[in-house]
Chain A
Amino acid sequence: DAGVTQSPTHLIKTRGQQVTLRCSPISGHKSVSWYQQVLGQGPQFIFQYYEKEERGRGNFPDRFSARQFPNYSSELNVNALLLGDSALYLCASSLLQSTDTQYFGPGTRLTVL
C-alpha cells in the first residue's frame, strides 16, 4: 500500500515568492496534518485538517494557509517567503482526527534564497 506522498521533493524559491506544497494521505485516511522541521530540530505543528475543515493551528503567521480537498489530499501555501521559511515540510495522515497514530510522508525540502 502506498504511504503518504508529497510533492515536490525539493523546491527552491526566492524571498517574497509564494509556494504551494501538496500531500496525498494514506488511502482511507481522512485527517492531514502539516509540520515544519528546521534543520537540527523536531517537527513543529502547523495545521490539522479533518473532513476538509481546519481543526487545529500552530503558532505560525497568517502567511501560512492550507486546505483539504474532497479526496482528502491537502495543500499548504506559504506567501511572502522569508529566508527563515527554509525547512523540511512534512505531511502526516491519520485515519480519523481522534486516531492517535500519524504517519508521515517523506517531506518537501524548501530552500528560500
Chain B
Amino acid sequence: GESVGLHLPTLSVQEGDNSIINCAYSNSASDYFIWYKQESGKGPQFIIDIRSNMDKRQGQRVTVLLNKTVKHLSLQIAATQPGDSAVYFCAERSNDYKLSFGAGTTVTVRA
C-alpha cells in the first residue's frame, strides 16, 4: 500500500494496493467528521462518517481513523479499484451544523 504522512493534493495508487488519504481539520470543537467522494461532474457522495467519541470506524473496504490529539483524520481504502479514482474530501461539522470541507485529494488508480 501507499502511505501519505501529510495531506497531499494528489495520490497515485496501483490497482489492488491499499490507499491512505490524510486530512487535518481545524476546529477542535468539531464533533463529527465525514469523508465524501466526488467524481468528475457529480456531487459529493457520502462514504463514511465518524463521531468525535470514536477513534476508528470501518465500512465496506474503507476505514476512517480519527486522532483528536493532533486533529488528524485519515481514510483507508482496501484493495483500491479503478472505480475509486475520484477526489476525496474530508468534512468537519462544528456546533452550528454546517460542514467545512478540506482541500481534497485526487486519487488516481493505475492499472
Stretch in B44-52, B64-72, B75-83 touching the partner: B44-52
Check A43 against B97 for contact (C-beta < 8 Å). no
- Residues of chain A from 77 to 113 with CB closer than 8 A to chain B in the complex: 90, 92, 97-98, 100-107
Candidate in B43, B45, B89, B96 with the most chain A CB atoms within 10 angstroms: B43
Candidate in A4, A48, A101, A104 with the most chain B CB atoms within 10 angstroms: A104
Q: Which residues of B have CB within 8 Å of A35? A: 99
Main secondary structure of the interface of A (DSSP, over half): loop
Assembled-state Cα–Cα distance A92/B91 (Å): 13
Assembled-state Cα–Cα distance A92/B43 (Å): 9
Does B25 lie at the interface of the complex (its beta carbon under 8 Å from any beta carbon of A)? no
CB distance from B91 to the nearest CB of A (A): 8
Q: Which residues of B have CB within 8 Å of A4? A: 43
Check A104 against B34 for contact (C-beta < 8 Å). no
Q: Which residues of A have CB within 8 Å of B93? A: 100
Kindly identify which residue among B32, B43, B100 contacts A45, using a CB–CB cutoff of 8 Å: B100
Assembled-state Cα–Cα distance A25/B100 (Å): 20
Q: Which residues of A have CB within 8 Å of B41? A: 106
The chain B residue sitting closest to A55, CB to CB, is B97
Check B43 against A101 for contact (C-beta < 8 Å). no
The chain A residue sitting closest to B103, CB to CB, is A42
Check A42 against B49 for contact (C-beta < 8 Å). no
> Interface readout for B69-111 with A: 1 if CB under 8 Å, 0 if not?
0000000000000000000010101001111111110000000
> Are A42 and B42 also in contact (CB < 8 A) when A56-B97, A58-B98, A104-B36 are?
no
Interface residues in chain A, defined as those with a beta carbon under 8 Å from any beta carbon in chain B: 4, 33, 35, 41-45, 48, 55-56, 58, 90, 92, 97-98, 100-107
18 A-B residue pairs with CB within 8 Å: A41-B103, A41-B104, A42-B91, A42-B103, A43-B99, A55-B97, A56-B96, A56-B97, A97-B97, A100-B34, A100-B49, A101-B34, A102-B46, A103-B46, A104-B43, A104-B45, A104-B46, A107-B43
